[in-house]
Amino acid sequence: MRKAATLILASVILLFAGCLPRLSDHIYFASDRDGVGNNLFAINTDGGELRQLTKVLQPGWDPHPALSPDGKRIVFVSRHADGNLEVYVMDTAGGEPTRLTYTAADEDRPAFTPDGRISFDSERTGDWELWVMDQTGENPIQLTDSPGIDEGSSWSPDGKLLTFASEREGYFGIYLADPDGSGVRRLYGGISFHCNDPAWSPDGKRIAFAGDSGGTYDIYVIALDGSEPLRLTGYEGWSQERYPSWSADGERIVFARLENGDWEICTMKADGSEVRQLTDNLEVDDSLPVW
Ligand SMILES: [Ca+2]
Ligand SMILES: [Ca+2]
Ligand SMILES: [Ca+2]
């Protein structure tokens, strides 16, 4: 009888575990530590067990990776032999990347959407706009059409909104839009407060971003009502913090810090406390982390 109850309990736990968002036991980031160019690496959230995922195709690119909701796939860009950036996808467990775009223009900053597609930036119309496509690379659809750069899409967990950075009003601000790219409205930003790198929180209530209000970027968090954002970084001395990405449970944020000309990966609690530096290598740049 007890054995049967244990089996039922185990089944229920497995059933619910299958519904949970991805495990947050790894952080993926870009680094030039192998001396060739930027490649993707994985480390444990405590900074241990470094694993290299990619071998560079050509040096001189920022791969801007993003994870699928289940944590099993990673999208990124790489400069192909024909000279411009393309979107690639691969398993986080390893293996060969699959190329998804074939354009003469640059693509950048891909992200998985909650409905199983991939959004990305592309300059294929001659101006940077947001696009979305199937995970096979088929059926590309243009989402934005604005003067200047639109970049770095991040989706609300329920898929009902996306956020991105745009310079459509003459400076970089954080914008919201409906999933088809309509209904664009500014959430935050101004001529003296540039905002980039928005990342939607797992609970859907907040957006982390990198903001520059006076010469260096810091990490901020803002609620969806557009009220004043909360600054999470701002250390003694000159440093710059960018590229926030949330842990799956929303408890912590990983980001990249530039200090003394060197990029490192750090994490902090979502209120800015308990900062931990995960990489420590003055010779190489570790940046663009995703959790
Ligand atoms: Ca291309
Ligand atoms: Ca544009
Ligand atoms: Ca470094």
How far does residue 133's CA lie from ligand 3's centre (Å)? Answer: 34
How far does residue 17's CA lie from ligand 3's centre (Å)? Answer: 36
Extract the tokens encoding 37. 């160019």
Q: Could you report the per-residue pLDDT of 135-184, keeping only the tens digit for each? A: 999 999 999 999 999 999 999 999 999 999 999 999 999 999 999 999 99
How far does residue 100's CA lie from ligand 1's centre (Å)? Answer: 9
Give me the mean pLDDT over the 232-246 stretch. 90
pTM of the predicted structure, to 2 decimals: 0.90
> What is the spatial distance between Cα 15 and Cα 60, in angstroms, rounded to a whole number?
44
DSSP string, 209-246: EEEESSSSEEEEEEETT-PPPEE----SSS-EEEEEEE
Q: Could you report the per-residue pLDDT of 91-105, keeping only the tens digit for each? A: 999 999 999 999 999
List CB contacts of 285: < 8 A, sequence separation 6 or more: 31, 32, 38, 262, 263
Q: State which amino acid sits at residue 257.
A: R
> What is the spatial distance between Cα 72 and Cα 229, in angstroms, rounded to a whole number?
32
Query: Can you give the pLDDT at residue 3?
Result: 53
Say which ligand is closest to the CA of 169. 2
Q: Which band of pLDDT confidence, cut at 50, 70 and 90, is reported for residue 19?
A: very low
